[in-house]
A and B are shown apart, each in its own frame.
Chain A
């Protein structure tokens, strides 16, 4: 019960959101910069990895997953893995057809 009480009383300070916002804007500009120079097939991977890093910050800080019960984190991970698995399996099917 102690944990629930702590979660209830945890108010995230304004500056945490501002730091995360600065980081998200920095990552956005980084991905714009990296995709403008020619990197071949790496471009797709880099752009998607940066997008994944950005969304993990949105999920953990903006959407409070870091401070919630672990159940939410487990469910989000499961849904993410499900979507990733379906994308990979579908693409494998198309590539090796």
Chain B
């Protein structure tokens, strides 16, 4: 028996733990989708008119930004496994920049609505009736919760970038990068459903 100097690690278990966490995230957003569907069913006309006020162009651009960022983080796993640390860092940096671009778009989008006095608790919004209050309440809550996930993903990515630079993540030990990717893909997938629900279905 030789002495084991390395600390114990189980990559399969780490990945499985990440998936279990992702399932709770799916159930969280699944619950919100139910709330949205029921309120939409009960206030069909108000939801129809309110969703036409959202910009399909901005929504489409943000969808494409997230799709590209998902591809780049997936490719960074390939890069690290090929021992190409530089490409992995470049791809991760691109992913983070795209995530930031998404948030900047969201900022201007929200800013425009808030400038028109459309926000939860606004007296202007209250005069437009209950359906609009519900639509915008859900819009701000669901896209806001999603944006919060983007911010968490960016912080996670920041740690991964530091760990790759310091060789704590490398071609033989990259489960943390994989988990970061899994989380980012889930955030992308939630947007894949938020986009048609709020922007496309009018």
Interface residues of A (CB under 8 A from B): 11-14, 17-18, 20-21, 24-25, 28-29, 31-32, 35-36, 43-44, 47-48, 50-51, 54-55, 58-59, 61-64, 72, 75, 79-80, 82-83, 86-87, 90-91, 94-95
Contacts and interface: CB of A to CB of B under 8 A. Distances in A.
A72 to B, nearest CB: 6
A25 B78 contact: no
11 contacts: A11-B78, A11-B81, A11-B82, A12-B77, A13-B78, A21-B71, A24-B67, A28-B63, A29-B60, A58-B189, A63-B182
Where chain B touches its partner, the secondary structure class is: helix
B56 interface: yes
B176 to A, nearest CB: 15
Interface of B: 19, 23, 26-27, 30, 33-34, 37-38, 41-42, 56, 60, 63-64, 67-68, 70-71, 74-75, 77-78, 81-82, 178, 181-182, 185-186, 188-189, 192-193, 195-196, 200-202
Contacts of B201: 35, 43-44, 47
Contacts of A31: 196, 200
Nearest to B11: A8
A80 to B, nearest CB: 8
Contact of B34 (A21, A59, A87): A87
Contacts of A58: 70, 185, 188-189, 192
Top 5 nearest A-B pairs (CB, nearest first) are A83-B30, A47-B196, A21-B71, A35-B200, A62-B74
Given A83-B27, A91-B38, A12 B196 contact: no
Contacts of A29: 60
A35 B196 contact: yes
A78 B56 CA distance: 33
A14 B78 contact: yes
B75, B192, B193: most-surrounded residue (chain A CB, <10 A):
B192
A87 to B, nearest CB: 5
A51 B81 CA distance: 31
Nearest to A12: B78
Nearest to B200: A35
Given A51-B193, A55-B193, A62 B71 contact: yes
